[in-house]
A and B are shown apart, each in its own frame.
Chain A
Amino acid sequence: MSRTLTYREAIREGLDEELARDPNVVLMGEEVAQYNGAYKVTQGLWEKWGDKRVVDTPISEAGFIGMGIGASMLGVRPVMELMFWSFHSVAFDQLVSNAACVRYMSGGLCNCPIVVRGPANGGTGVGATHSHIPEGLFAAFPGLKVCAPATPADAKGLIKAAIRDNDPVYFMENTLLYGNSGEVPDPADGDFVIPLGLAEIKREGADVSIIAHGRSVIQSLAAAEILQRDHGVNAEVLDLRSIRPLDVDAILKTVMKTNRVVLVDESKPFGGVSAMVAMLIQEHAFDHLDAPIKRVCSIDAPAIYSPHIEHEQLPNPKRIVDKVLTLR
């Protein structure tokens, strides 16, 4: 039996189940405990699990993320919330020099089973400092794993996989998805875990492949409906779900099926996830392409504040439809 949960509730349920499963799992971050989470993802968990398992930290990202990394080397499994992934920059040394490299530099003697989670998105009128989208940035560091779920079910299944993984996993959520509802399997029907590295076709199609992750999947699905209704184009939408590990086979399979591809990525165009995916497609499926690979990214500028225009900077159904139509 499935129930309908919001994306926020689904993550919370996943965290709650992992707290119950493993006494070494500890949630920490700014306002995660007594305040119930800045975005209420952790609502009720402090009340249920107490001070030891759900820990309020000071606004001190380098300090508490570094602390979690150190504790993880001893066997604790910290799940750390960044109130916004945008705040990664003040903890960058800990996130990339320590978490990503400690296993390698120790010749495999150390490992770092941490999760760092929080929203990573634009579109909420908070300006450039709070609107960074760093999944491509962190996926560029070997030693790290990155995922970005689009639906409540994926969010729950992936947060559970991330917590059980023995490597550092950076889990990118989205404030504009927290209130979205969707079907999530009932815990009574068994442990629901979605492995990292597994993409999913969210909409079957035959004419063009739209490949996306995170909220761009939702925008792509809306675009696909418009394409079908108004233009007779039957688009397939592939949700990457996980950025690293990346389901390269699923990417190539859909490209070989439709022979046309548009990549939708909330990152900026230079580098980033879609640049990597484009490289893989041209290398491994060049002969299957009937048109150049196209992309819809955020417009190449720092995130604009103005609520009047911000949505135009991000991938949205109209921009995606327009891009797909250039392939005809």
Chain B
Amino acid sequence: MFKELNPLLHSQLRLAVMSILMNVEEADFTYIKNATNSTAGNLSVQIDKLSSAGYIEVTKKFDGRKPKTTCRMTQEGQDAFAAYVEALKPYLKI
């Protein structure tokens, strides 16, 4: 039985962001940008989408004079990610 894959996660960059945050406690914007080889503009849009869905929590603060954006996964995000991986299994015959 094939379940529909969560469209919010079934996209290259958003899935990459979620996979990173699933594996760490928190990561800042620059780290995610480098790890995903994405552009700042595109990443910012995708992070906003994930944040609006309640999957990640975004904290903006100042580190000295430099602004620092930190992202961490919420419980809702973890559940959504786990459900996405479960739904993925039948497609790959795992």
Is chain B found bound to chain A in the same assembly?
A: no
List A residues at the B interface (Cβ < 8 Å): none
